[in-house]
Structure 1
Amino acid sequence: MEEHDIIIVGAGPAGLTAGIYAGREGLKAMIIDKGVKGGNANMAPVIANFPGYKSIPGLELLKNIGNQAEKYIYIREYEEIVEIQKKTDTITLKTDKDNYRTKSLIICSGTTYRKLGVPGEDKYIGKGISYCSICDGMLFKGRDVLVIGGGNSAVTHALHLKDIGVNVKIVHRRDELRAQKYLQDKLHEVGIPIIWNSVVKEIKGDIFLKSVIVHNRETDVDEELEVSGLFLAVGEKPNSDIASNMGVNVDEMGYIITDKNQKTNITNVYAAGDITGGVKQLVVACGEGAVAAVNAYEELKIVE
């Protein structure tokens, strides 16, 4: 069984930054991710608030961070953690490929995109339904699509789709958006229509998505809209089940509770990034990853 000083769960912005800091301290450290490095941030069409860049696609930024991390730490992609156990001073991780032991653990497992939970949704994921405009947007150039949601992600996706020549509208369940003001201003500037007080009730098609039933919550009227694509941005669910099963405290929403040093209630177990809730921004995730790694290193030095 491989032994490590620090194992980091998740290769998103927080996990990669933690890896850079842990690796630079000369620790035997490793990152494990059930998917590809970069996490959800890979799907951000444009990032315009990360220091050092006026504007950069999420995929490019995370590739840069990932390449830097790989200079200092080994990253195991497509390996899913099945169970984590804490026994005295040792933490054991069981994955679908191997078993590992570590002195410290940093959980940066992030979040999973929420679904709408309506008929037809599962059938058309990848066949008209997408969570990533930068990945799939060009497939819909010149075609009609809807973006579902009212936060920063929804508006950012809509703006990107408009920019590449997609005919896009936003569907939002309320009468005002939650997105930051500068995004809303840009939205109005480019003239993207918004279908207010409405929700998707059903998704229809044959092999591919063809139309959606949109329900107006104010008028109680259903309308079928012919569209080729649906981009979902309706929130995220924290990936904290493995952590809570090992005894890590989470809040009522399922986000891991930490102190200012990113420590959880369990000794030598830290958490960073979107999994901790709060302000979900790339720069915050990176900062929390750095804080977690530095404090994990300091704790290991004290023990030695």
Structure 2
Amino acid sequence: MYDLIIIGGGPAGLTAGIYAVRYGMDTVVLEKNVLPGQIAATDMVENYTGFTAISGPELMQRFKEHAETVGVKIESAEVSSIISEDGKKVVVTDSGTLESKTVIIATGANPKKLGIPGEKEFMGKGVSYCATCDAPFYKGKTVIVVGGGESALTDALILSNVVKKVYIIHRRDKLRASRILQERVSRKPNIEIVWDTVPEEIQGKTGVENVILRNLKTRDVYTLQVDGVFVYIGIRPGTEFIDVKKNSSGFILTNEKLETSIPGIYAAGDCRDTSIWQVVTAVADGAVAAVSAHEYIMELDEQ
């Protein structure tokens, strides 16, 4: 039986593994992807402390190398369920079952995709899902933000302080974001809302150059020249396999120790209900969750 099983090998999971090994815990990280984490799909990272600029894949590779160097065991497996019984956690995977005293869920979250031509091809080359991460790359340029909710307007405001022009492309004639955000957007002279419209294709050579848009009411199709596309049509956490308390969007609810509604099961990083989805907060979560799991085990041993 393991002391700790960590599900997910992104920044949160690997950091949890590093801390767990330092605490002498018998630990394994289960990950289904070769190079996991949303950060691995990011072209360049400029807001992670200690690195002026580093590519997402390189940063993720460094996390992995650090974890392996200190003795974190990483195995390839996809988890289908977790069963809590008789003081232990049974983790069911596609390659068998494992038992542990504690579990950290660090499966992250993924932004919903538009599913249009050019989106996949230009991901990290003009298509982004995070203005906090990528806004500086578009200084003085023109971008579109797709969506009408809180995240879309928040990041449109972030972008408006850097870029020349922001178009908010929204499929309806009314925004879903809070009134205060709508008021802030309305006061920005370089933000323009394009109503009743959806993107149909993203075009370019080595980077984004144009977006094909369709007005859903008039059915008119036209081309808009832009340098970047920021997509905010929702985010989906990887939490389907675990039955703990979650918010309405599926993000796991935790206390200050990052413990879930089941004692001994913790959540770290983007899969939990958190204020921002950033690599730096995921790393912090991993450390907190590992320390909390160690404290839980110490209490078990004293009983």
Q: Which of the five TM-score ranges fits, normalised by the shorter chain?
A: 0.7 to 0.9
Rounded Cα–Cα distance in structure 1 between residues aligned with 2:248 and 2:241 = 16
Corresponding residue of 1:141: none
**Unmatched 5+ stretches in structure 2:** 170-191, 204-209
C-alpha offsets along residues 88-147 of structure 1, whole Å, 9 cap, x if unaligned?
21111121122211110000111123133xxxx37x5xxx3318734xx3xxxxxxx7x4
- Secondary structure of 2:262's counterpart equals coil
Residue 4, structure 1, aligned to residue 5, structure 2: no
Residue 185, structure 1, aligned to residue 175, structure 2: no
Residue 295, structure 1, aligned to residue 292, structure 2: yes
C-alpha offsets along residues 4-41 of structure 1, whole Å, 9 cap, x if unaligned?
11000111111111010011112110111121344111
Corresponding residue of 2:123: 133
Superposition map of 1:11-30 within 5 A: 11-30=9-28
Residue 280, structure 1, aligned to residue 277, structure 2: yes
Rounded Cα–Cα distance in structure 2 between residues aligned with 1:182 and 1:277 = 22
Contact 1:38 1:63 in 2 (8 A): no
Instruction: Choose the corresponding residue for 1:86, options 84, 87, 96.
Output: 84
Superposition map of 1:219-238 within 5 A: 220=218, 222-225=220-223, 233-234=231-232, 235-238=234-237
Corresponding residue of 1:114: 112
Q: 1:70 to 1:168 in 2, by over 3 A?
A: farther
Rounded Cα–Cα distance in structure 1 between residues aligned with 2:200 and 2:13 = 37
Rounded Cα–Cα distance in structure 1 between residues aligned with 2:144 and 2:163 = 10
> Root-mean-square deviation (CA), in Å?
3.6
C-alpha offsets along residues 51-109 of structure 1, whole Å, 9 cap, x if unaligned?
222222222222111111112211123x2112211112111112112221111000011
Rounded Cα–Cα distance in structure 2 between residues aligned with 1:109 and 1:271 = 9
Corresponding residue of 2:43: 45
- Secondary structure of 2:44's counterpart equals coil
Task: State the 1:187 CA deviation.
Answer: 2.2
Q: 1:133 to 1:148 in 2, by over 3 A?
A: closer
- Secondary structure of 2:220's counterpart equals strand
Residue 75, structure 1, aligned to residue 74, structure 2: yes
What letter corresponds to residue 29 of structure 2 in structure 1? Answer: I
Rounded Cα–Cα distance in structure 1 between residues aligned with 2:214 and 2:38 = 29
Q: 1:197 to 1:53 in 2, by over 3 A?
A: same
Aligned residues: 267
Q: 1:61 to 1:183 in 2, by over 3 A?
A: farther
Task: State the 1:171 CA deviation.
Answer: 4.6
Corresponding residue of 1:256: 252
What letter corresponds to residue 72 of structure 2 in structure 1? Answer: I
Contact 1:158 1:170 in 2 (8 A): no
What letter corresponds to residue 30 of structure 1 in structure 2? Answer: V
Task: State the 1:47 CA deviation.
Answer: 2.1
C-alpha offsets along residues 200-247 of structure 1, whole Å, 9 cap, x if unaligned?
354599xxxxx9752347x855324399x9967334211111112xxx
- Secondary structure of 1:262's counterpart equals coil
Rounded Cα–Cα distance in structure 2 between residues aligned with 1:131 and 1:274 = 25
What letter corresponds to residue 303 of structure 1 in structure 2? Answer: L
Corresponding residue of 1:271: 267
Contact 1:17 1:289 in 2 (8 A): yes
Rounded Cα–Cα distance in structure 1 between residues aligned with 2:121 and 2:291 = 34
- Secondary structure of 1:69's counterpart equals helix
Q: Which moved more, 1:261-270 or 1:94-103?
A: 94-103
Q: Which moved more, 1:177-186 or 1:18-27?
A: 177-186
Contact 1:213 1:222 in 2 (8 A): no
- Secondary structure of 1:93's counterpart equals strand
Corresponding residue of 1:140: none
